[in-house]
C-alpha cells in the first residue's frame, strides 16, 4: 500500500515534538500544530495522537487542549489513567483539568527555539 510521505512526516513531527516534552511539563495541540506550521490544523495533531497509540514512547498524557483539559483521557484505556500519569509528574489535575496549566505549559516553539 501507499503512504503519503507528507502525512507520515507530519505524524512523525508530532511524535517528535511530544517526545521533547520535558518531565512535569505539558503542551497543547495548538502549540504543536503551530510549531509544525499548521496552527489551523490542531485537529490533525489530535488525529496524529490517535495514531500515536502505535507509538509506546509517546507521552500523550502531556498533551491537552488549550484549556489544559484532559480531553483525550478516555483514550488512555482508563478515564483516570491520564491524570494519574500527570500526578506522577507533580502536575495537579482538578476536575479533569490541569491546575495552573500555564505554569506547566511548555511551548515547543519557544522551548525548541526554532530558527
CB of 40 to DNA, least distance (A): 4
Please list, in sequence order, all residues whose beta carbon lies within 8 angstroms of the beta carbon of residue 19, skipping any fewer than 6 positions away: 57, 58, 59
Tell me the per-residue interface mask from 31 to 60 with DNA, x by CB under 7 A, - otherwise: x-x----x-xxxxxxxx-xx-xx------x
* Of positions 15, 26, 28, 86, contacts DNA by CB under 7 A: 28
Listed residue (1, 24, 32, 3) closest to 108, CA to CA: 32
Closer residue to DNA, CB minimum distance, 10 or 35:
10
Provide the minimum distance between the beta carbon of 41 and DNA in the complex, in angstroms, as a whole number.
4
Separation of first and last alpha carbons in the chain:
36
- What pairing do the DSSP bridges indicate for beta strands 93-94 and 97-98? antiparallel
Q: CA–CA separation, 82 vs 44, rounded Å?
A: 21
Site for DNA in 52-111 (CB under 7 A): 52-53, 60, 63, 65-67, 71-72, 75-76
Contact (CB, 8 A) for 42 and 50: no
Residues forming the site for DNA (CB under 7 A):
4, 6-7, 10, 28-31, 33, 38, 40-47, 49-50, 52-53, 60, 63, 65-67, 71-72, 75-76
Amino acid at each position: 500500500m501507499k503512504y503519503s510521505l507528507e502525512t507520515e512526516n507530519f505524524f512523525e513531527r508530532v511524535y517528535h515534538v511530544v517526545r521533547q516534552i520535558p518531565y512535569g511539563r505539558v503542551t497543547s495541540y495548538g502549540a504543536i500544530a503551530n510549531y509544525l506550521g499548521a496552527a489551523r490544523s490542531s485537529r490533525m495533531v489530535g488525529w496524529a495522537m490517535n495514531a500515536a497509540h502505535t507509538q509506546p514512547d509517546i507521552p500523550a498524557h502531556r498533551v491537552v487542549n488549550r484549556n489544559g483539559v484532559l480531553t483525550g483521557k478516555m483514550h488512555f484505556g482508563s478515564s483516570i489513567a491520564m491524570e494519574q500519569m500527570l500526578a506522577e509528574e507533580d502536575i495537579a489535575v482538578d476536575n479533569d483539568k490541569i491546575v495552573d496549566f500555564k505554569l506547566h505549559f511548555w511551548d515547543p516553539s519557544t522551548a525548541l527555539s526554532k530558527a
